Structure 1
Amino acid sequence: MSYQKVQNFKCRCPLIQTGIYGLTESHQIPNIPCDRSSNDVFLNQHLQWYHNFDSVSARKLVRAICNNINQDEHLFSIYERVLKQNISVENYKCKCPLTQDGVFGLSDEHDITNIPCGRAEKEVLCFQHLQFHHNLSSRAAKKIVLALVSYTPTITRLFHHNDHITQSKCAVRKVKSKCPLLSRHIYGLSDHHHVPNIPCDRADQHIFLFHHLTYFHKLNAKAATKLIRALIINQDPCEALFHSNDIIVVSDQTIHNQQYKTKRSKKIIPQQKSYSETILDFSTHYQSLLNAINTSINKTTNDNLDNSMMPLDCSKSNQPSYQLNYPYSTNNMAHAHGLDLNSFLT
């Protein structure tokens, strides 16, 4: 039977009891009797991922079933290893073992959430499930998964009453999820809590929730941690998590200090000049203009007189007139500003 046919072979799982094909309790195969024997499955993958068979033993059993070998045949010896030796804890799937108090020595003193587990009827990624649904630390979750893999009875005491096995604050801050703040009236929130940006317009994205709650919704660290723990334990949003007198938003002074750690220089708007300053600028401008006109006239007339000491007097009729290429005459500009042109010439 080719490898491809083994991979694609589908049938109902035969592991409905121990003793078939020589498989006994000494082989420590998990999930027997199999609760999925009512439906066809890809048997090779099912044996490896649900019953923890190694790849060689899984293919051996699939070929035996394809060849219609009798279940009473001792296909595996009592000393033969059929399970995986190197287990990937993160990828191990099974039903949650926390169906009642006292499992593996767990008690109320450990502050474990959601016991008995409401999802015990479904197969889950056990390592992640124990952390995010039951609030166990990664070390404690790994210990339970390895116990399940090794077929350790649930009555075995893995933990003592003084063991600290719940998640730390650091673990809470690494949680990625969608923002739950879709309404202002969930988890006991109300208008007087003054939580900004509700309803959240980023609720369709998986984000680092702690950073999002503290930065975008301005929750303080205590309130953000409390809300994330409520999500981990799947608390009903209708239950009051915060009370009316709780301060859950960082103060305005804190926000102000964060926003203005680096002060921006303000743009300096020049003040309007006084009337006297305006007149002085005007006179300076037009005195320069008149000096330029005087120089031009001296060059044109080739006057032998020393005109450097004689100011230009535009009021004398005996002086020749000149057409200047300016849009407005000098006299018109002076009179337009209410000035006496002769006052600049004397």
Structure 2
Amino acid sequence: MKQNSFLNQLENWVDNAHSACLVIVVSTWGSAPRQAGSLMLVRDDLHLEGSVSGGCVEGEVIRLSQEAMESGLPCIQEFGVADETAWQVGLSCGGRISVLILPVADTGIPLSILRQAVRAENTRQPLDIEFMLADIMADIPKVTVRATLPDTSMHFVHTSNLEEEKGLFTLRLRPKNQLVIIGAGHISQVLSQLALNMELDTIIIDPRAVFLTEERFPDVTIKQGWPQDVLPELSIDAQTAIVTLTHDPKIDDPALLHCLKTDAYYIGCLGSTKTHQLRLHRLKELGISDTNLTRLHGPAGIPLGGRAAAEIALSILAELVSIYHKRDNQKSF
């Protein structure tokens, strides 16, 4: 089983006859608790997903969302510093945020746009959703929404842009970071759960059915089969990290041969330094160039000194997160 994204969850609610609102932080000032583009979902029975302030103003956002669901009309609300003596709703951090509250309706976020966004997420395709807010404060509030294909050189996830002079807010949906794990052993169990806490889309591949069960790997995508058969079916892009964990060249090497042809930003291999040198020799014999072999991180993980499964998993996750952010800093995102 795989955890639903926010937009998948919202579509699922609507398909099951619920009214719901999508709440988006469209702008922030000062030390606001959540960045622009942060999402929150509110359902008609008050089931919630996500947050726009970490708890400071959620109660008022829920009330406004209930009104929006009843009227079918969107609204925008700014929250500033709370005055504790006056019991007003506000932020205790000293910042300000502006949130856009959109019922799933033609006058809010149309169902057709929501479905288009869900399809884009499920196929790891980037999409921009533009909200024209010029008429949001009219007697009958109105938001014009359209989906556009973006500049694919950008790699943000759920980021946003508000051009106040144009009254235009753009929610930029980009593929989430993805982790593909080869092998379903104990380290993979721990690593997959750590990855979920980091909100990584996580996929486990292993030809051995006895290891690859939903009981051992809840909330992640599991695919039984040989890596050389499964990997070509996946979208492995510049937001993808891959790590081989089986210690078995029959499983790991074909995976590495495929992944070295992709744009994956991290390819890690479990094993000792000696094991990794033998691995490099095998891959070179199979035609992989020395330049391409330098992409492999082996032994995978930063040196923490521990040997327990959880410690190894933590070291691998720390390395791939560090490499991802170093890459983005070099690109000046």
Name the TM tier (shorter chain): under 0.3
By percentage of residues, which structure has more strand?
A: 2
Larger fraction in helix: 1
Q: TM-score, normalised by structure 1?
A: 0.24
Structure whose alpha-carbon radius of gyration is higher: 1
